Structure 1
Amino acid sequence: MILGGAEITNTLQTELIASWALLAVPIAFMRSRDAMPAGTGKDMAQIGLLILVMGMAGGMVADAFGSIGDETNQEAIGRLLWSTMFLGMAFTGLGYYLAEFFNKILSGALGLLGCVGFLVLAIGGANDDN
C-alpha cells in the first residue's frame, strides 16, 4: 500500500490485510441471511452466500500467488474465482429482492453490481495474449 509515495507495507502485508477484511463480508451476509423469513428469497440468498464464500476463498489464493510474484497462476485462478464471487453477490442480491428483506433499490443494486462484475471479469476481462 503506497500512501503519498511512502511505502508503508509491502505487497504480502497488503494482501494479508485485504484477506482479513474480506472475511468480514461473508459474515455480514450470513448474519443478515439468518434474520430472513423462510421462502424462495432466503434459499436464493443462501445459494449466493455459498458461491460468494467459495469465490472469496479462491480469490484469496489467487492474491497470495500475486503477492509472491507468480502472476501467471494469479491470472489463471483469479479471473475465474473473483468472477465467481460477483456471481454469488448477484444471487444474494436476488435473494434479498425476492424476500423483500432490504430496500428494493439496495437489493437491486447489489444484484446489478454482482451481474456487472461477473460479466466484466468472466467475459469482458478475457485477453487474447496466448
Structure 2
Amino acid sequence: LYLKQRPEELEKLVEIAKVQSTEASNAIEGIVTTNTRIRQLVEEKTAPRNRDEQEIAGYRDVLNLIHENFDAIPITQNYILQLHKILYSHRNNPMAGRTKSVQNYISATYPDGHVETLFTPLAP
C-alpha cells in the first residue's frame, strides 16, 4: 500500500539508506571522503578522484545491482566473483573477480616495532 501511495517518499528513503550504507561500510575499511563527495558519488553526479573514491564508486555499483535485482541473484561462487569484479571495476586491480590464492592477515605494528596479528581471515 505504501509503495503505491507514496513511491516518491519511499525512493527518497532508499537513496538516503544507500548513502548511509556506502559511507558506513567503506568507513569500516578506512575508506573515507567528505559527506558531499559520498553523496555525489552515490548519486553518480561526479567521477572518483582517488583510490578511496574509486572503491566507493565500486561499492555503489554493487549495491545498486543488488538492490535492483535481489530477487534474481543466485548465491553462487561465480556470481559472487562477478560482484567482486564490479566492486573493483573503477580500479586496476588484477584480483578483481578472482578468489585469493595467498593467506592474508590483519595486523598492527607498534611503536617499538613488534607486529601483532589481530585477525586471520579464512584461508584461500
Q: Rg larger in 1 or in 2? A: 2
Q: Where is the strand percentage greater, Structure 1 or Structure 2?
A: 2
Return the TM-score normalized by structure 2. 0.33
Q: Where is the helix percentage greater, Structure 1 or Structure 2?
A: 1
Higher relative contact order (CA 8 A, sep 6+): 1
